[in-house]
Amino acid sequence: MDFLDFIIVAATGYLLGAIPFAVIIARFCGVNIFKVGSGNPGATNVKRSCGKWAGNICFILDAAKGFLATFWVFHSEFFGIQLSDPQSLCYVGLVSAIIGHSFSVFIKFRGGKGVATSIGGLLAVMWAAILIALIVWLVVFYSTRYVSLASIAMAISMPVAAAFLYGCPGVHVYLSLAIAAGIIYRHRSNISRLIKGTENRF
């Protein structure tokens, strides 16, 4: 893997991920997303604070960041860029987008929890496993009405599905394990509220 290629892909992924769509959409609704609901600049808080359509649009755009940060690497020649190792670099783009979303330079290194961005990026590299994980999310959410619990369950299911579909050990398993750990860590305050019974249902 060429170092310059690494920098290009990592920087592009980070800047894509750092676009704070939750903040932008909330402002269109006349809301400061940091001062309403959970204060988290993510699709769930936008949906709570600005309505269903605003939240859904935010989710799609956040997912698109992860997808594009990964997808363009596979098709870099279309953009006139010859990358040395697209297969490995696509993972760099994905992880960088998640970091950008979670610690955006545009909003003082704050950000969302990375669920939508992770889903979008992983759809580009292991779509079958993510579809299974999304089914887990739907089952847990509609049975409990906790978005946070559904997201945590989905995160746990990703490496399990990857191991089942792609074999273990393998890069897909390691990648999904790392991303799952990040998602669960970003939900640590939600986990505390779930344990105390104070987490809000949707």
d(CA 125, CA 120): 9
Domain ranges of the chain: 3-196
Amino acid in the structure at residue 1: M
Secondary structure (DSSP) of 77-129: GGGT---S-HHHHHHHHHHHHHHHHHSBGGGTTB---SHHHHHHHHHHHHHHH
Task: Mark 117-138 as b/e (b = at least 16 C-beta within 10 Å).
Answer: bbbbbbbbbbeebbebbbebbe
DSSP state of 34: G
Distance of CA 201 to the CA centre of its chain: 21
pLDDT in tens, 16-71: 999 999 999 999 999 999 999 889 999 999 999 999 999 999 999 999 999 999 99
* pLDDT for 29: 94
Tokens 């800047």 belong to 15
pTM over 0.85: yes
